[in-house]
Amino acid sequence: MAQEFAKPFYNSKAWRECRASFIAKRSALDGGMCMTCHMELGKIVHHKTWLTPENISNPMITLNHDNLKYDCQTCHNQEKEGKEIEQPRYFFGENGEIILIKPIDE
């Protein structure tokens, strides 16, 4: 799921064209296989340098084929899980104490 700040970008014509031409390039090279495992067909185009509010308007990051990677669903999910551990999630308990929620598979 795209983050809120990136939604207008993912809906833009520039991104859709960039993504389509990247997929066409990969298909011509190796039939569009996943660039991580090379076992499954690619499904998701993702940015190697993740989009942030700071770089979202920089086409050298957002629309640069060198910053794109074609992944299958499995590999994409694994990469995402690795990134999301950075942010600890917590809530406040009955007495106002902070309770950390550990990632499920830890």
The only residue of 18, 22, 34, 70 in contact with Zn ion, by rule CB under 5 A: 34
Q: Judge contact between 38 and 46, C-beta under 8 A.
A: no
The answer to the question of residue 99 lying near Zn ion (CB under 5 A) is: no
| Rounded least distance, CB 75 to Zn ion, Å | 3
* Residue count, binding to Zn ion (CB under 5 A): 5
Q: Supply the minimum distance, in Å, between the C-beta of residue 38 and Zn ion.
A: 7
Work out whether 36 is an interface residue with Zn ion (CB under 5 A): yes
Residue in this structure with the two tokens 């830890």, named with its chain if needed: 106
Pairwise CA distance, residues 75 & 33, whole Å? 12
| Nearer of residues 43 and 56 to Zn ion, judged by Cβ | 43
The length of the chain is 106
41 forms part of the interface with Zn ion (CB under 5 A): no
Residue indicated by tokens 């499920």: 104
Q: Are residues 10 and 4 in contact, defined by beta-carbon separation less than 8 angstroms?
A: no
**Any idea what DSSP says for residue 31?**
S
Footprint of Zn ion (CB under 5 A): 34, 36-37, 72, 75
